[in-house]
Structure 1
């Protein structure tokens, strides 16, 4: 069973500089995949404003998505659809690797559509959702429910963070000390501690550590 992730650029048509924005996405993705090499299929652009990746577990997908959210600068962000289901390769003479398709991708697309609805209605800060393909929905019902509860809370906290606090939180997820982060940012250790504490970063960091990916 695979975990398919589709990342959809938010407001892609309104970006003032699409080329620079894509560079920011590419740089953040490369950084995350270096710091947390858990993807079985690296996140890569597909068509238009979408990127896709495949992970071996829900935990791996959740960890990678969190770091990517934290790594991206202000003004560029994704919404994420996570799909539980088979991911297959269809042979094609136009591609050596074939064409990736299957129920995992369809579930991820449905999850993207649900996130977009949440943003417009009840949860403006929502950025991530998980859905299991109907063929495995009963088997994963509890995991899907718990994961979505976690994602709603996590997105709410991350969504209110400043760009600097996201960088600091990223560093803490990777077990960098507050002193190291302060030196990198050119600020005091006290400012790092206060910024993290005010933003609720400790809960995000502890949640990441509970995924047990490092």
Structure 2
């Protein structure tokens, strides 16, 4: 059993330069993997506006996807469908095709994100679905994780680009002093931005997810 992730680009048809946006996405994913190499197979473009990735642990997927959300600039964002279940490759004349209940669950998860976006929780960006046959512990883990993701996505969605950059910087261990110099603002301004954006809750959440590996 692994963690299968499908990602699609929010508003991809409205982007002025789809190729430039894809380069930004590729560069962002590579930067996150350089800072925190958590993916078994990093998100990679497949067809249209979709990407596929695989993680070995749910906690790794949740941390990595948060980092990607924070690192992306205004105007470019992903939706993430996380599926928990077995995956496999199917050979074809066009190369290996991703298949298996983990991918079906990821597809159902991303469809849930679309549905929630269009109704009462427009900032929803991430959801988890378990393939059939999960035990009670995993079912409970998925339910608790989805509750966490709803609140996390709301926090990230309310941030401006600078607040996301600062939060990302703190998550990769950069000091407020260094971040202030890079942004051309004072250290107290960095502290104020992080505090007003709720960054401390996100950072402590990552520590809780990563446990002793943080």
Normalised-by-shorter TM-score class: over 0.9
Counterpart in the other structure of 1:113: 111
**Pairing partner for 1:178 from 161, 168, 176:** 176
What CA distance in whole angstroms lies between the structure 1 residues aligned with 2:14 and 2:133? 37
Could you tell me how far 1:133 is from its partner in structure 2?
0.6
Partner of 1:207: 205
Question: 1:174 Cα shift?
Answer: 1.4
Structure 2 partner of 1:148: 146
Q: Which runs of 5+ in 2 are unaligned?
A: none
Instruction: Could you tell me which runs of 5 or more consecutive residues in structure 1 were left unpaired when the two chains were aligned.
Output: none
State TM-score, norm by structure 1.
Answer: 0.95
- TM-score, with structure 2 as normaliser: 0.95
| Residues 12-36 of structure 1 deviation map (CA, whole Å, 9 limit, x = unaligned) | 1111111111111111111011111
In structure 2, C-alpha distance between the alignment counterparts of 1:49 and 1:175, rounded to whole Å: 32
**CA distance, structure 2, for counterparts of residue 27 and residue 66 of structure 1:** 16
- Hey, what does 1:158 align to over in structure 2? 156
CA distance in 1, matches of 2:115, 2:94: 36
Q: How does 1:74-89 map to 2 (within 5 A)?
A: 74-89=74-89
Q: Is contact 1:173–1:209 with CA below 8 Å preserved after alignment?
A: no
* SS of the residue 2:127 aligns to: strand
Output one character per residue of 1:26-53: Cα deviation in whole Å (capped at 9) or x when no partner. 1111101111111111110000000010
**Ranges of 4+ aligned residues in structure 1 off by more than 3 Å:** none
Q: What CA distance in whole angstroms lies between the structure 2 residues aligned with 1:7 and 1:32?
A: 15
**What's the CA shift for 1:138?**
4.3
Q: How far off is 1:149 after superposition?
A: 0.4
3-state SS of the aligned residue for 2:123?
coil
